Amino acid sequence: MDSKKGTFQTVWGVALLLAGIGVFIRIPQVMPKIESIEQFSQISSIVRFSFYFMGALLIGGGAKKIYGNLKKPDSDTEQGDG
């Protein structure tokens, strides 16, 4: 049961990582369309920052989840010492 949970968490981490990379790839293609909308043309730098920030959060969260599930848990064997 525990290995299924670990596998799911690793797959979820990969999905988050890929979504973040996809955001970074898609921003240059979408920003001209967003800037053409009158309401967003004056705040395009805020919109651009928000997209890049969201992509960075997705990449960071996915990487953290992958790293946390793939590293060897050394503390499980040493918990009886103290």
Q: pLDDT tens across 12-24, in order?
A: 999 999 999 999 9
pTM above 0.85, yes or no: no
Q: Give CA separation, 26 vs 21, 62, 81, in Å.
A: 9, 18, 51
Weakest-pLDDT range from 52-56, 64-68, 77-81: 77-81
Count the alpha carbons within 13 Å of 67 in the hemisphere toward its beta carbon.
7
Q: What is the dihedral of CA 28, 33, 38, 39, to 10 degrees?
A: -60
